[in-house]
Amino acid sequence: MPISSKTQVFCVLGHPIGHSLSPAMQNAALAEMGVDGVYVAFDVHPDALGAAVAGLRALGVVGVNCTIPHKEALLSLVDALSDDAACIGAVNTLELREGRCTGHNTDAPGFLAALRAEGFDPSGCKAVVLGAGGASRAVIVALARCGAEVQIVNRTHDRAQALAEQLNGRLGSTSIEAVCREPAALGSALRNADLLVNTTSVGMAPEVDRMPAIPVEALHSKLFVYDLIYNPLETRLLRTARECGARGQHGAGMLAHQGALALQLWTGIAAPVAHMEQVILKTLSAREQELRASLDNG
């Protein structure tokens, strides 16, 4: 649609943000939905986050997505929090209406929707989650609410332990615990697990040869591995898991589902999640071809 004085503005905040696929995905969705809107990306340094949110309020921006490193910092910059955002302790979506800013978290339901789209039902499963950051919080809460037993593994065990205690307290549960990274303990957890989720950035482009430090021999054919990374689509973790007979999937589905939920929150219209995921895949493919061409010419 042509941009006019009536065009609504949506955006994503992050630092850095140049790699983000959200503008391509969300603009394609807005066009498909027939919404007169445009979606842009802003690189906002953490020191400028408060000023950026104030500016967005003043400018009448309708909806905002937020990514690394702002998800936890936004908790203190909003007027209200949804139940999910308050429980998770992280915000990935801002809803701006009549000068009031509400923080939401669509990562948790987006993650569950992506899992179920792959035919995996997390209800009552045993899950191992790698990482203890903002994305990890959403994944853990989503799984615990499905009755899953969740074990957190993090580079710093004390942080994993603190997160488990915090989220158990908020959920009124005892289903979340921290597991030591030591190979014997982690190997035992993986052998008994139905689901392994990587919420860390280990293996993300350009460091595509890296993978989380896990005992590979503990991976098995009954395990489903979900890597939140989507660039590359085939991480070393996913490749290794499949070689061990496990099923696996990249994070493009979660990105599409959480983005679709944000659009529906802002517009009241169901977003075309399948179309959004296809745009993600096509954009990634185009970027990969550009990189190969530059390497060939270099």
Q: What is the mean pLDDT of the chain?
A: 95
Q: Domain 8-105 is classified in which CATH homologous superfamily?
A: Leucine Dehydrogenase, chain A, domain 1 (3.40.50.10860)
Pairwise CA distance, residues 52 & 116, whole Å? 36
Is the pLDDT at 2 greater than 90? The verdict is no
Q: Render pLDDT for 143-188 as a digit per residue (tens, 0 to 9).
A: 999 999 999 999 999 999 999 999 999 999 999 999 999 999 999 9
Cβ–Cβ < 8 Å for 135, 111: no
- The answer, yes or no, to whether residue 32 has pLDDT greater than 90, is yes
| CATH 3.40.50.720 given to domain 109-252 | yes
Tell whether the model's pLDDT for residue 291 goes beyond 70: no
Report d(CA 258, CA 135) in Å as an integer. Answer: 12
Q: What are phi and psi of 186, to 5 degrees?
A: -70, -40
d(CA 294, CA 281): 20
In the structure, what pLDDT confidence band is assigned to residue 219 with cuts at 50, 70 and 90? very high
Domain ranges of the chain: 8-105, 109-252
Say if residues 11 and 64 touch (Cβ distance below 8 Å).
yes
pLDDT the model gives residue 294: 66
Q: Which pLDDT value is given to residue 137?
A: 94
Q: Which residues are catalytic?
A: 71
Nearest to 271 by CA among 135, 141, 113: 113
d(CA 298, CA 56) in angstroms, rounded, equals 41
* Intrachain domains 8-105 and 109-252 with the same fold: yes
What are the tens digits of pLDDT across the range 231-279? 899 999 999 999 999 999 999 999 999 999 999 999 999 999 999 999 9
Q: Tell me the backbone φ, ψ of residue 172, rounded to 5 degrees.
A: 65, 40
Cis peptide upstream of residue 206 (ω within 30 degrees of 0) = yes
Total-model pTM: 0.93
DSSP string computed for 10-45 = EEEEESS-TT--HHHHHHHHHHHHT--EEEEEEE--
